[in-house]
């Protein structure tokens, strides 16, 4: 083993957060013979619902998997048919349709459930790489100038490289930046329908095999087919942040916000004259409805170099989901950071090279995301998005 490789193996690399970006970073480092440790708050990989499905882009998410040596394993786990897209009006009138790919047709953005992707990445890492149930209480620069983590149990962990892959409310980001996520003015309410082909066949037919967007009245109903016969529903409304945080409370209605039926009624009341099939996405949901205010970091967020510390994914460039770029960018960040660390003996040269490429890429995606957020909530959003999808597909879909 060369001296350079031995030195790289001695680096202590601490990654905070076991999301797609953090796990991709750990995997690509492992391929290059560089160990790392991932500190994750969740008690296990199955401690909570991992969320919906992702469409992995050829130039970002799939490229990251290629660097991770997992692209061929990804393909049979993905769902190319998830590329179907339906754009509807409030009366379920079809404004635009991209049919599912025919057999043999390619799809450069196949879908994969977040849970399945996480299992793929975790299964590729040496046992013990992820330290589950490790809450980071604080991150700081130690006396020797090295970054250090203080865990909830009082343990202090020093590192040569500390990577914040810990999402919107990153504990690592304050070491680099005083920027905080800002509420965008839009909130989602997440719901789930199970066993849809048997229990909710009309909803299954309405949504199709991929994604459905229904837009009108400056609000939206978004539905997304997942594996295992499930459909995720995202009700999107412009609302004060307090509306989302308070559990759908109507100030004029003292109903218990913890009452699922009351919350469902308050949400349905926002869509009084919408098609009953669309309203069924809310009315027939299984389990609780979960409010989720949408936040974003400033477009073009960046920081000056602080030795040994960097960020990736939402910790670096949180944006609204309206560009479909979050997980894709996080995975590409992770892969490119690992490649930079493998390519350079000097850590600061590696981190500078990574950030120099990441900053403009993230800024472009954040700009697109912010623009699309505005477009989705215009009074004529259906026309705006129909025109946008028409341009993107250049005549390759039913209209």
Query: What is the pLDDT, as a whole number, of residue 120?
Result: 98
Residues that constitute the known binding site: 48, 55, 114, 314
User: Of 315, 300, 310, whose CA–CA distance to 181 is shortest?
Assistant: 315
Residues that constitute the known binding site for FAD: 55, 114, 314
Report the C-alpha gap between 94 and 64 in whole angstroms.
35
How confident is the model over 341-346, as a mean pLDDT? 97
Residues β-bridged to residue 223:
212, 233
pLDDT, tens digit, 9 for 90 and up, residues 299-312? 999 999 999 999 99
Query: What is the pLDDT, as a whole number, of residue 398?
Result: 43
Q: What is the pTM of this model?
A: 0.92
CA atoms within 13 A on the CB side of 167: 10
Q: Is the pLDDT confidence value at 106 over 60? A: no
User: Of 274, 222, 269, 236, whose CA–CA distance to 250 is shortest?
Assistant: 269
Query: What is the pLDDT, as a whole number, of residue 87?
Result: 95
Report the C-alpha gap between 110 and 75 in whole angstroms.
8
Q: Is the pLDDT confidence value at 251 over 90? A: no
| In the chain, % of residues over pLDDT 70 | 91
pLDDT, tens digit, 9 for 90 and up, residues 268-281? 999 999 999 999 99
| Residue 123 or residue 103, greater confidence | 123
Q: Which helix (H) or strand (E) holds 38?
A: strand 37-39
Query: What is the pLDDT, as a whole number, of residue 389?
Result: 85
Report the C-alpha gap between 65 and 62 in whole angstroms.
5
Count CB neighbours of 121 within 10 A. Answer: 26
Q: Is the pLDDT confidence value at 321 over 60? A: yes
Residues that constitute the known binding site for NADPH: 48
Distances (CA, A) of 300 to 145, 167, 216, 316, 332: 28, 17, 31, 10, 18
Parallel/antiparallel/unpaired status of strands 136-141 and 147-151: antiparallel
């Amino acid at each position: 083993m060369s001296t350079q490789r031995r030195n790289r193996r001695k680096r202590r690399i601490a990654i905070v957060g076991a999301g797609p970006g953090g796990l991709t970073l750990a995997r690509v480092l492992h391929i290059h013979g560089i160990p790392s440790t991932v500190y994750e708050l969740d008690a296990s990989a199955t401690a909570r619902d991992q969320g919906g499905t992702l469409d992995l882009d050829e130039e970002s998410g799939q490229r990251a998997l290629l660097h991770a040596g997992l692209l061929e394993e990804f393909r049979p786990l993905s769902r190319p048919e998830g590329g179907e897209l339906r754009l509807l009006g409030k009366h379920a009138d079809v404004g635009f349709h991209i049919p599912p790919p025919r057999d043999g047709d390619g799809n450069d953005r196949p879908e994969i459930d977040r849970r399945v992707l996480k299992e793929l990445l975790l299964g590729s890492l040496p046992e013990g790489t992820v330290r589950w149930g490790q809450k980071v209480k604080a991150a700081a620069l130690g006396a020797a100038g090295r970054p250090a983590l203080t865990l909830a149990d009082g343990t202090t962990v020093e590192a040569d490289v500390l990577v914040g892959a810990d999402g919107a409310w990153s504990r690592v980001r304050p070491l680099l930046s005083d920027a905080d996520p800002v509420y965008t003015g839009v909130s989602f309410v997440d719901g789930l329908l199970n066993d849809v082909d048997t229990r909710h066949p009309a909803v299954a037919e309405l949504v199709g095999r991929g994604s459905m967007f229904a837009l009108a009245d400056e609000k939206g109903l978004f539905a997304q087919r997942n594996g295992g016969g499930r459909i995720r529903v995202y009700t999107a409304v412009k609302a004060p942040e307090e509306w989302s945080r308070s559990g759908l409370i109507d100030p004029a209605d003292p109903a218990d916000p913890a009452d699922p039926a009351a919350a469902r009624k308050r949400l349905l009341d926002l869509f009084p004259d919408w098609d009953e099939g669309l309203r069924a996405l809310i009315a027939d949901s299984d389990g609780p409805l979960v409010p989720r205010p949408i936040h974003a970091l400033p477009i073009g967020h960046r920081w000056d170099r602080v030795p040994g510390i960097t960020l990736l994914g939402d910790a670096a460039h949180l944006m609204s989901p309206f560009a479909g770029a979050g997980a894709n960018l996080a995975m590409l960040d992770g892969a490119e950071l690992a490649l930079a660390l493998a390519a350079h003996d000097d850590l600061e040269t590696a981190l500078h090279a990574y950030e120099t490429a990441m900053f403009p890429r993230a800024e472009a995606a954040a700009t697109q995301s912010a623009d699309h957020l505005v477009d989705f909530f215009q009074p004529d959003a259906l026309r705006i998005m129909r025109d946008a999808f028409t341009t993107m597909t250049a005549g390759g879909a039913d209209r």
